[in-house]
Structure 1
Protein backbone atom coordinates (compact mmCIF):
# COMPACT_ATOMS: atom_id res chain seq x y z
CA UNK A 1 0.00 0.00 0.00
CA UNK A 2 1.25 3.47 -0.92
CA UNK A 3 1.40 5.89 1.99
CA UNK A 4 1.98 9.37 0.50
CA UNK A 5 1.30 12.47 2.56
CA UNK A 6 -2.11 13.95 1.73
CA UNK A 7 -2.85 17.61 2.42
CA UNK A 8 -6.54 17.84 3.29
CA UNK A 9 -7.84 21.41 3.00
CA UNK A 10 -11.13 22.65 4.45
CA UNK A 11 -12.30 26.18 3.73
CA UNK A 12 -14.94 27.67 5.98
CA UNK A 13 -16.96 30.74 6.73
CA UNK A 14 -19.56 30.94 9.50
CA UNK A 15 -19.93 27.15 9.58
CA UNK A 16 -20.39 26.72 13.33
CA UNK A 17 -23.20 24.18 12.94
CA UNK A 18 -21.32 21.80 10.62
CA UNK A 19 -17.55 22.21 10.74
CA UNK A 20 -16.93 20.05 13.81
CA UNK A 21 -18.43 17.02 12.06
CA UNK A 22 -16.21 17.74 9.06
CA UNK A 23 -13.10 18.00 11.23
CA UNK A 24 -13.92 14.75 13.03
CA UNK A 25 -14.49 12.95 9.73
CA UNK A 26 -10.98 13.92 8.62
CA UNK A 27 -9.31 13.07 11.92
CA UNK A 28 -11.07 9.69 12.05
CA UNK A 29 -9.64 8.53 8.71
CA UNK A 30 -8.22 5.00 8.68
CA UNK A 31 -5.41 6.48 6.56
CA UNK A 32 -2.98 8.20 8.90
CA UNK A 33 -0.50 10.13 6.72
CA UNK A 34 -2.55 13.33 6.54
CA UNK A 35 -1.78 16.96 7.22
CA UNK A 36 -4.96 18.90 7.89
CA UNK A 37 -5.24 22.55 6.84
CA UNK A 38 -8.20 24.82 7.57
CA UNK A 39 -8.58 28.19 5.88
CA UNK A 40 -11.34 30.25 7.47
CA UNK A 41 -12.66 33.43 5.91
CA UNK A 42 -12.92 35.43 9.12
CA UNK A 43 -15.94 33.76 10.72
CA UNK A 44 -17.81 35.59 13.47
CA UNK A 45 -20.23 32.86 14.59
CA UNK A 46 -18.04 30.63 16.74
CA UNK A 47 -16.46 28.61 13.92
CA UNK A 48 -12.95 29.67 15.00
CA UNK A 49 -13.63 28.52 18.58
CA UNK A 50 -14.41 25.04 17.27
CA UNK A 51 -11.25 25.01 15.14
CA UNK A 52 -9.19 25.94 18.21
CA UNK A 53 -10.47 22.84 20.03
CA UNK A 54 -8.52 20.74 17.56
CA UNK A 55 -5.47 23.00 17.34
CA UNK A 56 -3.06 20.20 18.33
CA UNK A 57 -4.34 17.95 15.51
CA UNK A 58 -4.43 20.53 12.72
CA UNK A 59 -1.17 21.15 10.85
CA UNK A 60 -2.09 24.73 9.96
CA UNK A 61 -5.10 27.01 10.23
CA UNK A 62 -5.82 30.67 9.76
CA UNK A 63 -8.82 32.96 9.91
CA UNK A 64 -8.88 36.13 7.84
CA UNK A 65 -11.13 37.73 5.20
CA UNK A 66 -10.73 36.38 1.68
CA UNK A 67 -12.19 36.87 -1.77
CA UNK A 68 -14.32 33.74 -1.73
CA UNK A 69 -14.00 29.96 -1.63
CA UNK A 70 -11.42 29.65 -4.41
CA UNK A 71 -9.20 32.35 -2.95
CA UNK A 72 -9.29 30.39 0.32
CA UNK A 73 -8.48 27.17 -1.53
CA UNK A 74 -5.48 28.85 -3.16
CA UNK A 75 -4.27 29.88 0.29
CA UNK A 76 -4.53 26.25 1.33
CA UNK A 77 -2.47 25.17 -1.69
CA UNK A 78 0.33 27.52 -0.64
CA UNK A 79 0.49 25.85 2.77
CA UNK A 80 0.29 22.26 1.50
CA UNK A 81 3.34 20.02 1.92
CA UNK A 82 1.69 16.78 0.85
CA UNK A 83 2.24 14.86 -2.37
CA UNK A 84 -1.54 15.05 -2.91
CA UNK A 85 -4.11 17.76 -2.18
CA UNK A 86 -7.75 17.10 -1.33
CA UNK A 87 -10.46 19.71 -0.66
CA UNK A 88 -13.51 19.12 1.51
CA UNK A 89 -16.10 21.73 2.46
CA UNK A 90 -17.07 22.68 6.01
CA UNK A 91 -20.44 20.94 5.69
CA UNK A 92 -19.21 17.73 4.02
CA UNK A 93 -17.99 14.45 5.52
CA UNK A 94 -14.94 12.48 4.42
CA UNK A 95 -15.88 8.80 4.51
CA UNK A 96 -13.73 6.78 6.91
CA UNK A 97 -12.06 4.33 4.53
CA UNK A 98 -11.77 6.62 1.48
CA UNK A 99 -8.04 7.26 1.35
CA UNK A 100 -7.15 3.80 2.62
CA UNK A 101 -9.14 2.24 -0.22
CA UNK A 102 -7.75 4.61 -2.85
CA UNK A 103 -4.11 4.04 -1.97
CA UNK A 104 -4.50 0.28 -1.72
CA UNK A 105 -4.75 0.52 -5.52
CA UNK A 106 -1.82 0.99 -7.87
CA UNK A 107 -1.88 4.70 -8.69
CA UNK A 108 -0.33 5.66 -12.02
CA UNK A 109 -2.04 9.01 -12.56
CA UNK A 110 -1.72 12.63 -11.51
CA UNK A 111 -5.38 13.08 -10.63
CA UNK A 112 -7.48 10.50 -8.78
CA UNK A 113 -11.26 10.67 -8.78
CA UNK A 114 -14.05 8.56 -7.33
CA UNK A 115 -17.76 8.59 -6.57
CA UNK A 116 -19.69 10.88 -4.24
CA UNK A 117 -22.56 10.23 -1.82
CA UNK A 118 -25.22 12.92 -2.09
CA UNK A 119 -27.27 13.62 1.05
CA UNK A 120 -30.62 15.24 0.24
CA UNK A 121 -32.50 17.61 2.58
CA UNK A 122 -34.75 14.87 4.02
CA UNK A 123 -31.81 12.59 4.71
CA UNK A 124 -32.00 10.36 1.64
CA UNK A 125 -28.58 9.25 0.41
CA UNK A 126 -27.58 8.41 -3.14
CA UNK A 127 -24.18 7.32 -4.44
CA UNK A 128 -23.53 9.20 -7.65
CA UNK A 129 -21.11 7.34 -9.87
CA UNK A 130 -18.40 9.34 -11.59
CA UNK A 131 -18.31 9.78 -15.34
CA UNK A 132 -15.23 9.11 -17.42
CA UNK A 133 -12.60 11.85 -17.29
CA UNK A 134 -13.08 12.18 -21.07
CA UNK A 135 -16.20 14.24 -20.31
CA UNK A 136 -14.00 17.06 -18.99
CA UNK A 137 -14.25 18.87 -22.30
CA UNK A 138 -17.78 19.85 -21.24
CA UNK A 139 -18.45 18.85 -17.61
CA UNK A 140 -16.96 17.63 -14.33
CA UNK A 141 -16.76 13.84 -14.04
CA UNK A 142 -17.56 14.07 -10.32
CA UNK A 143 -17.73 16.57 -7.44
CA UNK A 144 -14.51 18.19 -6.26
CA UNK A 145 -15.05 16.41 -2.91
CA UNK A 146 -14.21 13.17 -4.74
CA UNK A 147 -10.98 14.36 -6.38
CA UNK A 148 -7.32 14.28 -5.29
CA UNK A 149 -4.65 16.07 -7.32
CA UNK A 150 -0.90 15.84 -7.13
CA UNK A 151 0.43 19.00 -5.53
CA UNK A 152 2.91 19.53 -8.34
CA UNK A 153 0.12 19.50 -10.92
CA UNK A 154 -2.15 21.93 -9.12
CA UNK A 155 0.76 24.35 -8.57
CA UNK A 156 1.95 24.06 -12.18
CA UNK A 157 -1.55 25.09 -13.27
CA UNK A 158 -1.48 28.00 -10.79
CA UNK A 159 -4.41 26.78 -8.74
CA UNK A 160 -7.90 28.18 -9.10
CA UNK A 161 -8.64 31.07 -11.45
CA UNK A 162 -10.47 33.73 -9.42
CA UNK A 163 -12.11 35.04 -12.58
CA UNK A 164 -14.63 32.25 -12.03
CA UNK A 165 -16.71 32.59 -8.87
CA UNK A 166 -18.67 29.33 -9.11
CA UNK A 167 -16.88 26.85 -11.37
CA UNK A 168 -13.16 27.48 -10.89
CA UNK A 169 -12.83 23.81 -9.91
CA UNK A 170 -14.19 22.77 -13.31
CA UNK A 171 -11.81 25.20 -14.99
CA UNK A 172 -8.80 23.75 -13.16
CA UNK A 173 -9.80 20.18 -13.95
CA UNK A 174 -10.45 21.01 -17.59
CA UNK A 175 -7.17 22.87 -18.05
CA UNK A 176 -5.32 19.96 -16.46
CA UNK A 177 -7.05 17.42 -18.69
CA UNK A 178 -6.48 19.40 -21.88
CA UNK A 179 -2.77 19.78 -21.03
CA UNK A 180 -2.34 16.00 -20.90
CA UNK A 181 -2.52 15.39 -17.14
CA UNK A 182 -3.45 11.77 -16.46
CA UNK A 183 -6.61 10.81 -14.56
CA UNK A 184 -7.44 7.56 -12.74
CA UNK A 185 -10.84 6.44 -11.49
CA UNK A 186 -11.08 4.44 -8.25
CA UNK A 187 -14.55 2.94 -7.54
CA UNK A 188 -15.07 4.24 -4.02
CA UNK A 189 -17.43 6.87 -2.60
CA UNK A 190 -15.00 9.41 -1.19
CA UNK A 191 -17.25 11.79 0.75
CA UNK A 192 -20.78 12.80 1.65
CA UNK A 193 -21.90 16.01 0.01
CA UNK A 194 -24.99 17.81 1.32
CA UNK A 195 -27.32 18.87 -1.45
CA UNK A 196 -29.43 21.76 -0.17
CA UNK A 197 -31.55 22.43 -3.22
CA UNK A 198 -31.10 24.30 -6.48
CA UNK A 199 -28.39 26.91 -6.16
CA UNK A 200 -29.43 30.53 -5.98
CA UNK A 201 -26.38 31.23 -8.13
CA UNK A 202 -27.44 29.10 -11.09
CA UNK A 203 -27.29 31.98 -13.54
CA UNK A 204 -23.73 32.86 -12.48
CA UNK A 205 -22.79 29.18 -12.70
CA UNK A 206 -24.15 29.01 -16.25
CA UNK A 207 -22.15 32.07 -17.26
CA UNK A 208 -18.97 30.59 -15.75
CA UNK A 209 -19.60 27.32 -17.57
CA UNK A 210 -19.91 28.96 -20.97
CA UNK A 211 -16.91 31.27 -20.41
CA UNK A 212 -14.68 28.36 -19.35
CA UNK A 213 -15.50 26.20 -22.36
CA UNK A 214 -15.02 29.12 -24.70
CA UNK A 215 -11.78 30.36 -23.10
CA UNK A 216 -10.21 26.90 -22.86
CA UNK A 217 -11.45 25.98 -26.36
CA UNK A 218 -12.52 22.61 -25.03
CA UNK A 219 -15.22 22.02 -27.65
CA UNK A 220 -16.03 23.43 -31.07
CA UNK A 221 -19.54 24.71 -30.30
CA UNK A 222 -19.72 25.73 -26.63
CA UNK A 223 -23.10 27.44 -27.01
CA UNK A 224 -24.72 24.28 -28.34
CA UNK A 225 -23.32 22.25 -25.45
CA UNK A 226 -24.49 24.94 -23.05
CA UNK A 227 -28.07 24.65 -24.34
CA UNK A 228 -28.08 20.84 -24.07
CA UNK A 229 -26.82 20.92 -20.50
CA UNK A 230 -29.38 23.58 -19.58
CA UNK A 231 -32.14 21.24 -20.78
CA UNK A 232 -30.66 18.46 -18.64
CA UNK A 233 -30.51 20.85 -15.69
CA UNK A 234 -34.21 21.64 -16.12
CA UNK A 235 -35.08 17.95 -16.21
CA UNK A 236 -33.01 17.41 -13.05
CA UNK A 237 -34.79 20.28 -11.32
CA UNK A 238 -38.20 18.79 -12.14
CA UNK A 239 -37.06 15.40 -10.84
CA UNK A 240 -35.81 16.81 -7.55
CA UNK A 241 -38.74 19.19 -7.07
CA UNK A 242 -41.66 16.96 -7.93
CA UNK A 243 -40.47 13.34 -7.82
CA UNK A 244 -37.64 12.89 -5.34
CA UNK A 245 -39.47 14.64 -2.51
CA UNK A 246 -42.28 12.09 -2.84
CA UNK A 247 -39.90 9.19 -2.13
Structure 2
Protein backbone atom coordinates (compact mmCIF):
# COMPACT_ATOMS: atom_id res chain seq x y z
CA UNK A 1 0.00 0.00 0.00
CA UNK A 2 1.38 3.43 -0.93
CA UNK A 3 1.41 6.21 1.65
CA UNK A 4 2.88 8.92 -0.55
CA UNK A 5 -0.42 10.84 -0.50
CA UNK A 6 -0.42 10.74 3.31
CA UNK A 7 1.37 13.27 5.54
CA UNK A 8 5.15 13.21 5.57
CA UNK A 9 6.26 12.51 9.15
CA UNK A 10 9.64 13.84 10.29
CA UNK A 11 11.49 12.11 13.13
CA UNK A 12 14.23 14.28 14.68
CA UNK A 13 16.72 12.50 16.94
CA UNK A 14 19.26 14.26 19.16
CA UNK A 15 22.26 12.18 20.20
CA UNK A 16 25.59 12.59 21.97
CA UNK A 17 27.75 9.52 22.62
CA UNK A 18 24.72 7.29 22.17
CA UNK A 19 26.25 4.42 20.23
CA UNK A 20 24.87 1.83 22.69
CA UNK A 21 21.22 2.63 21.95
CA UNK A 22 21.07 4.64 18.72
CA UNK A 23 20.95 1.60 16.42
CA UNK A 24 17.68 0.46 18.00
CA UNK A 25 16.28 3.96 17.49
CA UNK A 26 17.28 4.00 13.81
CA UNK A 27 15.97 0.48 13.23
CA UNK A 28 12.62 1.35 14.81
CA UNK A 29 12.16 4.07 12.17
CA UNK A 30 13.55 2.05 9.24
CA UNK A 31 11.21 -0.87 10.00
CA UNK A 32 7.99 1.18 9.89
CA UNK A 33 5.26 -0.05 7.56
CA UNK A 34 4.48 3.61 6.85
CA UNK A 35 7.03 4.71 4.26
CA UNK A 36 6.39 8.47 4.09
CA UNK A 37 8.92 9.22 6.85
CA UNK A 38 12.14 11.20 7.03
CA UNK A 39 14.71 10.59 9.76
CA UNK A 40 16.92 13.49 10.81
CA UNK A 41 19.72 12.88 13.32
CA UNK A 42 21.69 15.66 14.99
CA UNK A 43 24.81 14.46 16.78
CA UNK A 44 26.63 16.72 19.22
CA UNK A 45 30.12 15.66 18.16
CA UNK A 46 30.24 12.16 19.64
CA UNK A 47 33.52 10.32 20.22
CA UNK A 48 32.16 6.86 21.11
CA UNK A 49 31.53 5.39 17.67
CA UNK A 50 28.21 7.14 17.05
CA UNK A 51 29.53 8.77 13.87
CA UNK A 52 30.61 5.39 12.46
CA UNK A 53 27.13 4.11 13.22
CA UNK A 54 25.56 7.05 11.39
CA UNK A 55 27.74 6.44 8.35
CA UNK A 56 26.80 2.74 8.35
CA UNK A 57 23.07 3.64 8.39
CA UNK A 58 23.07 6.44 5.83
CA UNK A 59 20.56 4.69 3.59
CA UNK A 60 17.98 4.95 6.39
CA UNK A 61 18.76 8.56 7.36
CA UNK A 62 17.47 11.54 5.38
CA UNK A 63 19.93 13.97 6.97
CA UNK A 64 22.57 13.82 9.69
CA UNK A 65 25.31 16.03 11.03
CA UNK A 66 27.91 15.64 13.76
CA UNK A 67 29.23 18.82 15.35
CA UNK A 68 29.34 20.38 18.83
CA UNK A 69 26.04 21.79 20.03
CA UNK A 70 24.60 23.47 23.12
CA UNK A 71 22.32 20.69 24.29
CA UNK A 72 19.23 18.80 23.24
CA UNK A 73 17.10 21.85 22.39
CA UNK A 74 19.86 23.33 20.27
CA UNK A 75 20.12 19.98 18.48
CA UNK A 76 16.36 19.76 17.90
CA UNK A 77 16.34 23.34 16.61
CA UNK A 78 19.05 22.40 14.13
CA UNK A 79 16.89 19.50 13.04
CA UNK A 80 13.93 21.81 12.50
CA UNK A 81 15.88 23.69 9.83
CA UNK A 82 15.95 20.46 7.77
CA UNK A 83 12.38 19.16 8.13
CA UNK A 84 9.99 18.79 5.23
CA UNK A 85 7.26 16.91 7.09
CA UNK A 86 3.80 18.09 8.05
CA UNK A 87 4.15 16.40 11.45
CA UNK A 88 7.29 16.16 13.59
CA UNK A 89 8.27 13.83 16.41
CA UNK A 90 11.33 14.40 18.64
CA UNK A 91 13.30 11.52 20.16
CA UNK A 92 16.52 11.02 22.06
CA UNK A 93 19.02 8.29 21.22
CA UNK A 94 17.67 6.23 24.16
CA UNK A 95 14.15 6.25 22.73
CA UNK A 96 12.62 4.18 19.94
CA UNK A 97 9.31 3.78 18.13
CA UNK A 98 7.36 1.07 19.91
CA UNK A 99 6.49 -1.20 16.97
CA UNK A 100 6.63 -1.32 13.18
CA UNK A 101 3.00 -0.19 12.72
CA UNK A 102 2.96 2.81 15.05
CA UNK A 103 3.41 5.59 12.46
CA UNK A 104 0.86 3.83 10.23
CA UNK A 105 -1.67 3.93 13.07
CA UNK A 106 -0.80 7.50 13.99
CA UNK A 107 -1.06 8.76 10.40
CA UNK A 108 -4.60 7.40 10.09
CA UNK A 109 -5.64 9.54 13.04
CA UNK A 110 -3.58 12.60 12.06
CA UNK A 111 -5.41 12.79 8.72
CA UNK A 112 -8.69 13.28 10.61
CA UNK A 113 -7.45 15.98 12.99
CA UNK A 114 -8.66 19.54 12.22
CA UNK A 115 -5.97 21.90 10.94
CA UNK A 116 -6.55 24.09 14.01
CA UNK A 117 -5.06 21.33 16.20
CA UNK A 118 -1.27 21.61 16.20
CA UNK A 119 -0.39 19.04 18.91
CA UNK A 120 -1.36 15.37 18.99
CA UNK A 121 0.01 12.74 21.35
CA UNK A 122 -0.26 9.12 22.41
CA UNK A 123 1.06 6.97 25.22
CA UNK A 124 4.67 5.89 25.75
CA UNK A 125 6.06 2.84 27.52
CA UNK A 126 8.52 3.45 30.34
CA UNK A 127 11.31 0.87 30.44
CA UNK A 128 13.44 -0.36 33.33
CA UNK A 129 17.23 -0.70 33.48
CA UNK A 130 17.02 -3.91 31.42
CA UNK A 131 14.82 -2.27 28.76
CA UNK A 132 11.82 -4.28 29.99
CA UNK A 133 8.39 -2.58 30.09
CA UNK A 134 7.48 -0.87 33.37
CA UNK A 135 4.19 0.86 32.66
CA UNK A 136 2.40 3.08 30.17
CA UNK A 137 2.33 6.87 30.53
CA UNK A 138 -0.15 9.24 28.95
CA UNK A 139 -3.76 10.22 29.65
CA UNK A 140 -6.38 11.85 27.45
CA UNK A 141 -6.34 15.62 27.04
CA UNK A 142 -9.58 15.93 28.95
CA UNK A 143 -7.90 14.41 32.01
CA UNK A 144 -4.66 16.40 31.91
CA UNK A 145 -5.62 19.75 30.37
CA UNK A 146 -5.74 21.70 33.64
CA UNK A 147 -2.84 19.83 35.26
CA UNK A 148 -0.66 20.58 32.23
CA UNK A 149 -0.59 24.23 33.28
CA UNK A 150 1.36 23.12 36.37
CA UNK A 151 3.22 19.95 35.33
CA UNK A 152 4.56 18.29 32.19
CA UNK A 153 1.94 15.54 32.01
CA UNK A 154 2.17 14.85 28.27
CA UNK A 155 4.89 12.31 27.35
CA UNK A 156 7.05 14.27 24.91
CA UNK A 157 8.31 11.18 23.07
CA UNK A 158 4.67 10.52 22.24
CA UNK A 159 3.93 13.99 20.83
CA UNK A 160 3.40 14.77 17.16
CA UNK A 161 3.95 18.48 16.43
CA UNK A 162 2.33 20.01 13.37
CA UNK A 163 4.88 22.07 11.40
CA UNK A 164 2.62 25.11 11.70
CA UNK A 165 3.21 25.01 15.49
CA UNK A 166 6.75 26.24 14.88
CA UNK A 167 5.66 28.70 12.20
CA UNK A 168 3.32 30.21 14.78
CA UNK A 169 5.40 30.01 17.98
CA UNK A 170 9.03 29.67 16.92
CA UNK A 171 11.59 27.07 18.01
CA UNK A 172 12.66 25.65 21.37
CA UNK A 173 14.00 28.12 23.95
CA UNK A 174 17.61 26.99 24.37
CA UNK A 175 17.97 28.68 27.76
CA UNK A 176 16.15 25.65 29.22
CA UNK A 177 18.15 22.52 30.01
CA UNK A 178 15.30 20.11 30.80
CA UNK A 179 11.90 21.77 30.36
CA UNK A 180 12.25 23.38 26.93
CA UNK A 181 9.74 20.93 25.44
CA UNK A 182 7.21 21.88 28.12
CA UNK A 183 7.70 25.61 27.51
CA UNK A 184 7.25 25.16 23.77
CA UNK A 185 4.01 23.22 24.21
CA UNK A 186 2.83 25.76 26.76
CA UNK A 187 2.92 28.49 24.08
CA UNK A 188 0.20 26.57 22.26
CA UNK A 189 -1.70 24.63 24.91
CA UNK A 190 -2.27 27.38 27.45
CA UNK A 191 -5.14 28.47 25.20
CA UNK A 192 -5.58 25.68 22.62
CA UNK A 193 -6.43 21.98 22.69
CA UNK A 194 -4.35 18.90 21.93
CA UNK A 195 -5.61 15.70 20.30
CA UNK A 196 -5.13 12.38 22.07
CA UNK A 197 -4.18 9.50 19.77
CA UNK A 198 -6.34 6.54 20.74
CA UNK A 199 -4.95 3.04 21.27
CA UNK A 200 -1.40 4.04 20.29
CA UNK A 201 1.84 3.43 22.15
CA UNK A 202 4.21 5.75 20.30
CA UNK A 203 7.61 5.04 21.80
CA UNK A 204 9.66 3.27 24.41
CA UNK A 205 11.60 5.42 26.86
CA UNK A 206 14.43 4.16 29.03
CA UNK A 207 14.33 5.42 32.62
CA UNK A 208 17.09 6.68 34.89
CA UNK A 209 18.97 9.97 35.10
CA UNK A 210 16.65 12.94 35.52
CA UNK A 211 13.61 10.75 36.14
CA UNK A 212 15.00 9.04 39.23
CA UNK A 213 17.45 11.61 40.62
CA UNK A 214 15.83 14.02 43.11
CA UNK A 215 18.43 16.74 42.52
CA UNK A 216 17.69 16.70 38.80
CA UNK A 217 13.98 16.61 39.61
CA UNK A 218 14.44 19.88 41.50
CA UNK A 219 16.06 21.45 38.45
CA UNK A 220 13.15 20.22 36.33
CA UNK A 221 10.53 21.63 38.71
CA UNK A 222 12.22 25.02 38.84
CA UNK A 223 12.38 25.11 35.03
CA UNK A 224 8.70 24.14 34.83
CA UNK A 225 7.86 27.01 37.16
CA UNK A 226 9.98 29.41 35.09
CA UNK A 227 8.07 28.36 31.98
CA UNK A 228 4.75 28.90 33.76
CA UNK A 229 5.84 32.35 34.96
CA UNK A 230 6.88 33.28 31.41
CA UNK A 231 3.29 32.57 30.35
CA UNK A 232 1.63 34.35 33.26
CA UNK A 233 0.42 31.23 35.07
CA UNK A 234 0.05 31.25 38.87
CA UNK A 235 1.68 28.83 41.29
CA UNK A 236 -0.49 25.70 41.48
CA UNK A 237 -1.09 22.92 43.96
CA UNK A 238 0.13 20.14 41.64
CA UNK A 239 3.52 21.84 41.31
CA UNK A 240 3.74 22.48 45.07
CA UNK A 241 2.84 18.86 45.83
CA UNK A 242 5.50 17.64 43.39
CA UNK A 243 8.09 19.91 45.04
CA UNK A 244 7.23 18.58 48.50
CA UNK A 245 7.63 14.99 47.26
CA UNK A 246 11.05 15.75 45.80
CA UNK A 247 12.28 17.29 49.06
CA UNK A 248 11.00 14.26 50.99
CA UNK A 249 12.96 12.01 48.62
CA UNK A 250 16.07 14.15 49.09
CA UNK A 251 15.81 13.87 52.88
CA UNK A 252 15.26 10.11 52.72
CA UNK A 253 18.17 9.77 50.25
CA UNK A 254 20.46 11.52 52.77
CA UNK A 255 19.21 9.76 55.91
CA UNK A 256 18.57 6.22 54.65
CA UNK A 257 20.73 6.06 51.54
CA UNK A 258 19.60 5.67 47.95
CA UNK A 259 19.10 1.89 47.92
CA UNK A 260 16.88 1.73 50.99
CA UNK A 261 14.96 4.83 49.94
CA UNK A 262 14.15 3.28 46.56
CA UNK A 263 12.80 0.18 48.30
CA UNK A 264 10.73 2.28 50.68
CA UNK A 265 9.27 4.36 47.85
CA UNK A 266 8.19 1.22 46.03
CA UNK A 267 6.56 -0.10 49.20
CA UNK A 268 4.49 3.08 49.12
CA UNK A 269 3.66 2.58 45.44
CA UNK A 270 2.50 -0.98 46.08
CA UNK A 271 0.35 0.31 48.93
CA UNK A 272 -1.38 2.60 46.43
CA UNK A 273 -1.88 -0.25 43.97
CA UNK A 274 0.90 0.93 41.65
CA UNK A 275 3.70 -1.07 40.05
CA UNK A 276 7.25 -0.80 41.47
CA UNK A 277 9.26 1.94 39.79
CA UNK A 278 12.11 3.16 41.96
CA UNK A 279 13.87 -0.20 42.35
CA UNK A 280 13.60 -0.80 38.60
CA UNK A 281 15.34 2.37 37.38
Partner of 2:60: 57
Which blocks of at least 5 consecutive residues in structure 2 are unaligned? 253-259, 267-275
Distance change (3 Å), C-alpha of 1:210 and 1:174 = same
Contact 1:131 1:141 (C-alpha < 8 Å) held by counterparts: no
- In structure 2, do the counterparts of structure 1 residues 25 and 174 end up closer, same or farther at CA, with 3 Å as the change threshold? same
Displacement of 1:100 in angstroms is: 1.1
Paired with 1:233 and 1:190, the residues of 2 have a C-alpha distance of: 28
Structure 1 segments, 4+ long, off by >4 Å, are: 232-240
When normalised by structure 1's length, the TM-score is 0.89
Compute the displacement of 1:87 (Å): 0.7
Larger radius of gyration: 2
Kindly tell me: are residues 80 and 240 of structure 1, through their superposed partners in 2, closer, same or farther at Cα, counting changes over 3 Å? Answer: farther
- Matched position secondary structure for 2:29: helix
Measure how far apart 1:81 and its partner are. Answer: 0.8
Instruction: Report Cα offsets for 1:148-180 as digits up to 9, x if no partner.
Output: 011121232111111211100000111111253
Picking from 188, 191, 202, the partner of 1:190 is 202
The 5 A counterparts of 1:219-238 are 220-222=234-236, 224-233=237-246
Structure 2 CA distance for aligned equivalents of residues 150 and 21 of structure 1: 25
Contact 2:8 2:36 in 1 (8 A): yes
Q: Is 2:174 the partner of 1:171?
A: no
Deviations 1:30-66 (A, max 9, x none): 2110011000000011001001111122111000000
Task: Confirm or deny that 1:115 pairs with 2:123.
Answer: yes
Matches within 5 A, 1:1-247: 3-95=6-98, 96-105=100-109, 106-108=112-114, 109-122=117-130, 123-132=132-141, 133-134=144-145, 135-180=147-192, 182-187=193-198, 188-196=200-208, 198-199=212-213, 201-218=216-233, 220-222=234-236, 224-233=237-246, 241-242=262-263, 243=266, 244=276, 245=279
- Aligned pair in 2 of structure 1 residues 235, 32: CA closer, same or farther (>3 Å)? farther
Q: Over aligned residue pairs, what C-alpha RMSD do you find?
A: 2.4
Alpha-carbon distance in structure 2 between the residues aligned to 1:35 and 1:69 = 19
Instruction: Give the gaps of 5 or more residues in structure 1.
Output: none
Paired with 1:155 and 1:53, the residues of 2 have a C-alpha distance of 34
**What per-residue deviation string (whole Å, max 9, x for no partner) do you get for residues 4-23 of structure 1?**
00111011000011101110
**Could you tell me whether the CA contact under 8 Å between 1:131 and 1:142 is conserved in 2?**
no
| Deviation of the 1:236 alpha carbon | 8.8
Judged with a 3 Å threshold, the aligned counterparts in structure 2 of structure 1 residues 100 and 172 are, in CA distance, closer, same or farther, namely same
DSSP 3-state at the match of 1:17: helix
- Checking the alignment, whether the CA contact within 8 Å between 2:125 and 2:204 is kept in structure 1 is yes
How many residues of Structure 1 are paired with residues of Structure 2 in the alignment? 243
Q: TM-score, normalised by structure 2?
A: 0.79
